A and B are shown apart, each in its own frame.
Chain A
Amino acid sequence: MSSENILEVSHLKQYFPVKNGFRTVPLKAVDDISFTIKPGETLGLVGESGCGKTTVGRTLLRLYQPTSGCIVFDGDVLYDSEKKIDVKMQPYRKQMQMVFQDPYSSLNPRMTVEDIIGEPLDVHKLYTSKGERHDKIMELMETVGLNAEHATRYAHEFSGGQRQRIGIARALAVDPKFIVCDEPVSALDVSIQAQVVNMFEDLQKQRGLSYLFIAHDLLVVQHISDRIAVMYLGHMMEIADADELMDNPIHPYTQSLLSAVPIPDPKTARKSQRIILEGDVPSPLKMPSGCPFRTRCRYATEQCACEMPPFTDRGNGHMVACWNK
């Protein structure tokens, strides 16, 4: 395994036991997903609601116990189901952090901003005196563009955008190398989205951060990502460099996603017609056989129904899982 990647995830699976009638069946929220992230790089992760993006982020941070697979962070194996490696996460919590999807439920309503941002400092004992703690919190608030005078306020007194900034400051408090950004802007107003996305970019430049940037808005992801991964029903469909994926989508699902994106400039609008996806996303409990996308795919063949397509390189690291050449 090369250590030039900050994160390597291979064959990661996360099945949740759910009650279906009287039986407990596995809900395959994430099924056999592999990807890598280089230092200082942003990998965008897109897919429809419920396809398992959040679960990928949480599982690789070990907030959930993975069902199987392998997670390597910065050369250290965090989890490997085959070699039975399952390390204590405490030291790694300082290096990998998460910004949560919902700025309203991700901040404790009974804590002040100061205590929310200060908690990681407390837990990892990152200060020697009360004064140092205070200074660090002020600095963090400044970094994310919050007024330091509001440190003693409670989270519910802030707007959505400000709350998301508090969440970002909390993640930055331990000075991590890698942050999972779980749809950090989708709950925000469009005008504020741009501000927050730009802040993520600035922070990346200043601190050399790596991101797994989850979103369902392809335009936002294209803007911030170096590479983009497309997920469908817990499976990885396609990974490629951001520009390559936008210009030359290979997987039928990616093609349909891209055709649904409103194009800002009509002059450069693609001549191709909108591909309208038919039918609904199947329930993750009733996964189609073979290719998970085949129930809605225009190119589906006999083979697609029988066999899961392999995740293969179509040149220049453009990985696709599809039988259609």
Chain B
Amino acid sequence: MKDNFKKAPFSAQIDLSKFSMQDFEKATDEEKRQQDVMGESTTFFKDGMRRLRRNPLAMLAIGILIALIIVIIFAPLVIPYGYADIMKGSANLHPFEYSASELKQIAKGESVFPHIFGTDSLGRDYFIRVIYGARVSLVVGIFASILVLMIGMLYGSISGYLGGRVDLVMMRIVDIIYSLPDMLLIILLAVVLNETLGSIIKGTIFAKLGTNMIALFIVFGLLYWVGMARLIRGQILTIKQNEYVLAAKCIGTSTSRTILKHILPNCLSVIIITTALQIPSAIFTESYLSFVGLGVSAPMPSLGSLANEARSGMMTYPERLLFPAFAICLIVLALNLLGDGLRDAFDPKLSR
């Protein structure tokens, strides 16, 4: 037996001919068991979260967002002003200024809540308006992104999983939608909906949102999902190549179970990252539309419409433009940083 294993020159293999049987000792059971010891178990999410926690920019973004959300939720409970409350004689105050009547109240010993950001030309507390504006922007951004995610995920996974001719037709539809001018459609829809829907929704919660917002959501639902659909389809096409999908078929796993258990969990990271990056883009779109007068209807504020109203008194009251603009920047920047951090932490192609 021994002469069968001749050591090749330069090979790292141990030259067995130099040893005899007595040179070897049998491994004890304990030694054998040591072979089985493995490092601490890490899951994909634990691993990703650990990497996310090591990213200072992403952690800063999370901190800013948490602080913002706390302020947005609790400030209206603390501040005694409403976003539509007009205070006579308190118009056009600078930050922390009081009107004549308010000064009298203070002199009498009553406490008056300060106008942190001042008031606007109608005498409404500007801080609470910015808070509500940020609320609207965030809610619109999140819901529009969820809408985009739902439609895009369903469409993309069907197209990618079925493949072949179905995929071809579905992707051509996506191409067509991709080429439609979105802003033009929003403007057209807003005008049309205003004419037709305006009277129907009067008195319902939709009226508070305004037809412009409905048009915005419709356009998001009709047009903006295509990017998400394309991305998820591409992901699914690559995941489908993996042998574990074939193994699932070999076991007899049903199509729906295969998609749910094997395919979607493996593109989850991409879904999370893209949704996180979709929110700021939706917020930006909403702000832009509100700025040109196609956003939420008055008196409901949004960051974009606040900036628009501030244009008239820009020279004397520049802070009225700065506050909402700064709020938009902060929200969009924080969300973008968070999205980038998530991508770095969870996209296996970038790490390892």
A binding-site residues for B, Cβ under 8 Å: 58, 61, 63, 89-90, 93-94, 97-98, 100-102, 105-111, 119-120, 123-124, 147, 149-150, 152-154, 157, 167, 170, 174, 264-265
Contact = CB atoms under 8 A, between A and B. Distances in A.
B246 A63 contact: yes
Contacts, number: 77
Given A94-B252, A108-B262, A58 B44 contact: no
Contact of B253 (A97, A105, A123, A150): A123
B80 interface: no
Interface string B34-53: 00101101111000000000
Interface string B118-134: 00000000000000000
Contacts of A89: 252
Nearest to B40: A157
17 contacts: A58-B246, A63-B250, A93-B250, A93-B251, A98-B250, A100-B243, A101-B243, A105-B244, A106-B242, A108-B261, A110-B265, A119-B253, A123-B251, A123-B253, A123-B254, A124-B252, A149-B36
A149 to B, nearest CB: 8
B257 interface: yes
Contact of B243 (A106, A119, A120, A264): A106
Contacts of B247: 98, 100, 106-107, 167, 170
Report whether over half of chain A's contact residues are helix, strand or loop; otherwise say mixed: loop
A120 B261 CA distance: 13
A242 B262 CA distance: 40
Given A105-B243, A106-B243, 15 more contacts: A58-B246, A97-B250, A98-B250, A100-B246, A106-B244, A106-B246, A106-B247, A110-B265, A110-B266, A120-B252, A124-B252, A150-B36, A154-B42, A157-B39, A170-B247
Contacts of B254: 123
B261 A111 contact: yes
Contacts of B251: 93, 97, 119-120, 123, 170, 174
Interface of B: 4, 36, 38-39, 41-44, 242-244, 246-254, 257, 261-262, 265-266, 268
Nearest to A115: B261
Given A111-B261, A124-B252, A170-B251, A153 B246 contact: no
B252 A61 contact: no
A123 B41 contact: no
Contacts of A120: 251-252
A111 B248 CA distance: 12
Report whether over half of chain B's contact residues are helix, strand or loop; otherwise say mixed: helix
Contacts of B4: 264-265
A157 B41 contact: yes
B12 to A, nearest CB: 12
B50 to A, nearest CB: 15
A109 B266 CA distance: 8
B44 A110 contact: yes
B41 A147 contact: no
B329 to A, nearest CB: 37
A29 to B, nearest CB: 15
Contacts of B39: 157
Contacts of A108: 242, 244, 248, 261-262, 265-266
Nearest to A146: B36
Contacts of A123: 251-254, 257
Nearest to A93: B252
A86 B246 CA distance: 20
Nearest to A91: B252
A58 B247 CA distance: 10
B250 A147 contact: no
B40 to A, nearest CB: 10
Contacts of B261: 108, 111, 119
Contact of A107 (B38, B42, B244): B244
Most buried by A among B39, B44, B242, B265: B242
A89 B253 CA distance: 11
A89 B38 CA distance: 39
For the complex of A and B, the 7 pairs showing the least CB-CB separation, nearest first, are A93-B252, A106-B243, A110-B265, A108-B244, A147-B36, A120-B251, A105-B243
B38 A119 contact: no
A107 B247 CA distance: 8
Contacts of A98: 247, 250
A210 B39 CA distance: 37
Most buried by A among B43, B244, B248, B261: B244
Nearest to B239: A108
Contacts of B253: 119, 123
Contacts of B252: 89-90, 93-94, 120, 123-124
B38 A157 contact: yes
A49 B42 CA distance: 36
A100 to B, nearest CB: 5
B265 to A, nearest CB: 4
A98 B249 CA distance: 11
Contacts of B266: 108-110
A225 to B, nearest CB: 22
Nearest to B36: A147
Contacts of A147: 36
A282 to B, nearest CB: 26
